[in-house]
Every structure is written in structure tokens, then in C-alpha cells.
Amino acid sequence: ATVTYNYSAISSAVLQDVDIFWLSGYFYASWSSAEITALKNWLTAGGGLLIDGGESYTNINAILSPLGAGLTYASKSPFDGLTTNILSHETTLGVDSLYINYAASRLSPVTAPAVVIVKEMSGANNVAFSKVGGGRIIALTDYKFFDWDIGYYDNQLFGNQVFDWLAKATGFI
């Protein structure tokens, strides 16, 4: 995989050769309607969108709402630590436990077409997926794939399967 940081405005040209767009919730910028439209068009055509974290959940919700993905971020859940509250999905095959470190938000509400696949031990929604047109979205409320968290429990297996699932939308694999 090649990871490219983007500091420009989101446009169809920026997204043209992108298979998976990773949007970190640790950002504070608002997107213009043109940027949201470019993302929606790219996603509908078969892109894969990964959202992690959610400190800026108001800005993330402003991006998600026009997509019709059924995903909404809400204020932080107080839970950190191990969860075994994992539901069946391609991304969770063989995943028995995940480490949640600083759940910056929670997913609430989650409505169709979105489906929750990981809950915190407290019951708060931690990870959900959705499909928009030919595209796929995975929304996480914490940073399971960061350097210090990837090695805990089944985080790496889950991360590998998340990227595989998102890449299937793009035809990459």
C-alpha cells in the first residue's frame, strides 16, 4: 500500500487514484459543500472510506450526513480498555477482543444502511460499517490502528480485515 498525506482541498482530481480515503477524526477543519460532493461521488462510484477517532465529531457529521450512510458521531464515551463485544462481519472474522484506547466519541445513532460491528463493554457503539452506492465505509470512534494500539489483542487482524474489506469496494483486491 502507498499512503499519501493530503493537505489540499478534496476534489475529484485528488480522489481520482485513491482506493481508500482515511479520514482521521483528529482534525478540526470544516469541509466545503464542493469537497463533500466530491467525496460522495467518489464513494458512490466504489471508493472505500475509513474514519477513525472523532474529536471533531461535528465536522465529521457534516461530512457524513449528506452521504446518507446512517452514521452519526456523538460525544465521548467514558470507556477505554478491552472489549469482546464483537459482532459478526467480514472484518471481525477471528477477532475475539479489541483494545479501545481513548474512544474520542461514540456512534449514536446508527441507522440503516449502517450496522454496528463492535460495541464497548459499556454497550456504546464503537465501530460500524455502511455502504453508499458502490462504496464502503468503516467508522471507528478510537485509534485502533495507531502504532501503540495495533499490537494489542486482535487489533492488527481487525485492521488488516478492515482494509481488505474497504479495498474490495474499489476492485483493488
Query: Mean pLDDT of successive 10-residue segments in the chain (173 residues)?
Result: 85 94 76 95 95 81 93 81 95 95 85 96 93 94 79 90 86 51
CB contact burial 42-54 (16+ within 10 A = b; e otherwise): bbeebbbbbbbbb
What pLDDT does residue 7 have? 85
The 10 Å Cβ neighbour count of residue 140 is: 26
**Whole-structure pTM value:** 0.92
By C-alpha distance, which of 53, 111, 49, 59 is closest to 77?
53
Give 129's strand partners.
Answer: 115, 138
What pLDDT does residue 64 have? 93
Alpha-carbon distances of 145 from 105, 111, 140, rounded to whole Å: 16, 25, 10
What pLDDT does residue 30 have? 85
What pLDDT does residue 25 have? 64
